Amino acid sequence: MRKVFLLITVSLLTLSGCRHTSGFAKLDEWTNTWKTNQQTYFGYPANQQSALKDFYEWYVSTGMDRVNLNNAGDPMTDKPWNMSSCAFEREVIEFFTPLYGFDPSDVWGIVTHSGTDGNNHGIYFGANDLYNRTGQRPVVYVSDEAHYSNMRLCDLQHLEVKLIKSDAMGRMIPDSLEAALDITRPALMVYAMGSTFKGAIDDMEALNAVLAKHPELPGVYRHVDAALFGGYLPFTRYQKMVSSKDMHFESIAISGHKFFGIDSPSGLFLCTRRVYDNQQNFNVTYLNGNMRMINCSRDAVQPLKFWWLIQKIGYDQWAQQANQMMECTEYLQQQLEKIGWPCWRNEYSNTVFFKRPSPEICSKYNLALGFDAFFGGELAHVVVMQHVTKDKIDTFIHNLK
């Protein structure tokens, strides 16, 4: 009887277009908690203003929810089957190609499963490219402030890693790179574009200059881990920092669920066509021969979401969001300074780190925690995403006071 009642209620709400319950008490209770938590989600880089409502309406109303698509294989070449969204994935890569300073005639890319998946491709492609060019496995150089996924992935790929010291603000120190450089082996550089806690970008021009001083290096490959910053920087005055043409990197990884607001993990990976062409060609006839990327099955829905957001939000609105984030970051820092709360940030960064507040505030605002003796010990940070607006910052400051 209860089940019938629930079913009727759910059906009526669905028909009236305002379905608010699932019919499962546990699920409904959980739904209410995230609605509250979302308002004070300050510590992690997720855009909490996902704009995919229309997408889901289209998806269900057209029956796409009953279609099993798969983007296995190279999206840049045609498939022997047509149950994929690769045509849209290609357009996503085309949209982002100039934003990351790649030449449209010399680029390859995919929509990935996450920033980590993109880093995996960058490190794997980099190691193969260097090996195929020099006959030697590279040494990986990465800063001690870079995201842990890079170290994990090097471990998985059995690559030798040299962790390079970073300065107080989180940037790899060029002199420390120089001191650590093994000039008898190829160098695989992993540049942090937004170190996880302090939001630092490695100074690629200075680090490239160190590498250029050593023409005897058998080979150099540069991958940029731009999980968060790669989302908003192309739409700001710092665009050059994320440009392959200007910074001379071979590949870049970006997350889709951070700045772009895709509602579940996804990302972008772009590299030069030369790098892609220099990978092992696993010949798989039933997949059209070319399986150079790591995953076989690949998500077909995430490229559709990306494509949808490009049409619905696009360059101008993303630029407006990115600039609002920059403005609110500056505002947060000013307000902290006004109440005498010690705080710091890198110029181009949407991350402000500061003296750690009480455990209650940290928990309420989901603040990410850090520790650095140089800045007085216990720290926390706020990542200013689209939903962290000035009025929410005011309430946060009020709570701090």
Ligand X SMILES: Cc1ncc(COP(=O)(O)O)c(C=O)c1O
Is residue 116 close enough to count as binding ligand X by CB under 6 A?
yes
Counting Cα atoms < 13 Å in the Cβ hemisphere of 172 gives: 30
Instruction: Tell me which amino acid residue 121 is.
Output: H
The span from the CA of 302 to the CA of 360, in Å, is 36
Minimal distance, residue 346 CB to ligand X, in Å: 13
Tokens, residue 248: 């001379």
Range 29-68, binding ligand X (CB under 6 A) = 45
Q: Minimal distance in Å, beta carbon 337 to ligand X?
A: 25
Among the listed ranges 132-140, 222-230, 309-317, 337-345, the one in contact with ligand X (CB under 6 A) is: 222-230
C-alpha–C-alpha distance, residues 177 and 254, integer Å: 24
Minimum gap (Å) between residue 282 Cβ and ligand X: 24
Which range touches ligand X (CB under 6 A), out of 32-40, 56-64, 113-121, 310-318? 113-121
Residue 198 near ligand X by CB under 6 A: no
CB of 133 to ligand X, least distance (A): 26
Instruction: List the Cα angle 258/263/267 in 5-degree steps.
Output: 50
What is the closest distance, in whole angstroms, from the C-beta atom of residue 265 to ligand X in the complex? 6
Nearest of 162, 44, 112, 137 to residue 271 by alpha carbon: 112
Q: Could you say which of 196, 244, 302, 333 contacts ligand X (CB under 6 A)?
A: 196
Write the DSSP assignment of 247-274 as a string of letters: H--SEEEEESSSTT--SSS-EEEEE-HH
Asked if 265 touches ligand X (CB under 6 A), the answer is yes
Decide if residue 147 touches ligand X (CB under 6 A). yes
Q: Taking CB under 6 A as the rule, does residue 272 contact ligand X?
A: no
Distance CA 354, CA 80 (A): 54
Nearer residue to ligand X within complex by CB, 139 or 193? 193
**260, 262, 265, 268: CA torsion to nearest 10:** -50
Q: Which is nearer to ligand X, 79 or 250 (CB)?
A: 250
In the complex with ligand X, the residue whose CB is nearer, 254 or 328, is: 254
271's tokens: 């590299």
Q: How far apart are the first and last CA of the chain?
A: 53
Closer to ligand X at the Cβ: 79 or 171? 171
Q: What is the dihedral of CA 352, 354, 356, 357, to 10 degrees?
A: -80
- Work out which of 50, 97, 114, 166 binds ligand X, going by CB under 6 A: 114
d(CA 356, CA 369): 8
Q: Which of residues 267, 305, 346, 381 is near ligand X by CB under 6 A? A: 267
The residue count for binding ligand X (CB under 6 A) is 14
115 binds ligand X per the rule CB under 6 A? yes
Nearest residue to ligand X on Cβ basis: 115
Comparison of 187 and 228: residue with beta carbon closer to ligand X: 228
Q: Which span sits near ligand X by CB under 6 A: 5-13, 110-118, 199-207, 359-367?
A: 110-118
The answer to the question of residue 227 lying near ligand X (CB under 6 A) is: yes
Element (H, E) at 354: strand 351-355
- Identity of the residue, 260 or 307, whose beta carbon is nearer to ligand X in the bound complex: 260
Q: Answer whether 398's CB lies under 8 Å from 339's CB.
A: no
* Shortest Cβ 67–ligand X spacing (Å): 26
The pairing of strands 160-164 and 139-143 is parallel
Binding region for ligand X (CB under 6 A): 45, 114-116, 147, 149, 194, 196, 225, 227-228, 255, 265, 267
